[in-house]
């Protein structure tokens, strides 16, 4: 029995452009953590706390702050309720994307405690992890604009953003809407999975990201095992 995909899809037969050679690369700095819980809606609080210690992040185009995901996150494809609480475990990690030359500077986060509306999390020493150029990549959150709230419009806008990187996507899937609270109002996001990338294009999109608000957890791509296993990203906990 053949089953069709129930989630929104973007399918195109052949690429029309090739990406340029990647001349530089970002890395992920992975911190172990101590803590029990934090709100699922923590993008603003986390960004403010991290940039207070590392203000230079705002001037680094390749920098990004991964949001923290616990056991309920479905390994990145399904998220806990946007107003709920994330349960943390000993395998939960905080991850910072940054240029390789900034690794030592970012270690200033070691032993910093972040307060989240009554919950506290302490970051332990971080270690660097190279980005893996898999043919499938996943961004847990891409900022949804006023013109891309519809799933098809979102995928078309993502395709245009990738075209600006000289990447011609052929297969993409998006997830449901998520809502985060910012001082300026709500921020809507969707997850985005891109498949059938060349290794060069995979490295390029992981280095550059897609869309705005990288310091709020948006537009940051992770390597993913395959489009057929959206519940199992590669090395998501940093081990």
Average pLDDT rounded to a whole number, residues 202-224:
94
- The better pLDDT of the pair 147, 14 is held by 147
- The better pLDDT of the pair 201, 229 is held by 201
pLDDT number for residue 227: 55
**Strand (E) or helix (H) holding 207:** helix 199-208
Q: How many CB atoms neighbour CB 9 within 10 A?
A: 15
Nearest to 44 by CA among 67, 60, 23: 67
End-to-end CA distance of the chain: 38
**What does the alpha-carbon distance between residue 47 and residue 78 come to, in Å, rounded to a whole number?**
22
Query: What domains can you pick out in the chain, each with its CATH number?
Result: 18-22+132-224 (3.30.70.1210), 26-130 (3.30.70.1890)
Q: Are 26 and 95 in contact (CB under 8 A)?
A: no
Tens-place pLDDT, residues 166-204: 999 999 999 989 999 999 999 999 999 999 999 999 999
Continuous H helices in 109-172:
151-164
**What does the alpha-carbon distance between residue 216 and residue 120 come to, in Å, rounded to a whole number?**
19
pLDDT number for residue 192: 96
């Amino acid at each position: 029995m053949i089953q069709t995909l129930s989630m929104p899809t973007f399918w195109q037969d052949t690429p029309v452009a090739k990406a340029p050679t990647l001349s530089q690369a970002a890395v992920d700095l992975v911190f172990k953590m101590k803590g029990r819980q934090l709100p699922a809606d923590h993008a603003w609080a986390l960004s403010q706390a991290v940039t207070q210690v590392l203000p230079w992040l705002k001037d680094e185009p390749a920098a990004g702050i991964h949001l923290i995901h616990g056991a309920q996150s479905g390994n990145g494809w399904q998220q806990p309720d946007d107003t709920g609480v994330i349960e943390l475990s000993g395998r939960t990690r905080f991850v910072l994307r940054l240029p390789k030359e900034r690794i030592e500077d970012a270690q200033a986060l070691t032993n910093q405690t972040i307060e989240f509306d009554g919950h506290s999390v302490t970051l332990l020493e971080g270690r660097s992890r190279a980005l893996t150029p898999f043919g499938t990549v996943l961004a847990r959150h891409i900022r949804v604009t006023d013109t891309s709230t519809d799933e098809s419009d979102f995928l078309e806008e993502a395709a245009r953003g990738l075209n600006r990187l000289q990447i011609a996507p052929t297969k993409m899937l998006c997830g449901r809407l998520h809502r985060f609270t910012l001082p300026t109002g709500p921020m809507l996001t969707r997850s985005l999975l891109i498949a059938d990338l060349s290794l060069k294009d995979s490295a390029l999109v992981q280095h550059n990201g897609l869309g705005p608000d990288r310091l709020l957890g948006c537009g940051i791509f992770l390597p993913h095992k395959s489009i057929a296993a959206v519940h199992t990203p590669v090395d998501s906990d940093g081990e």
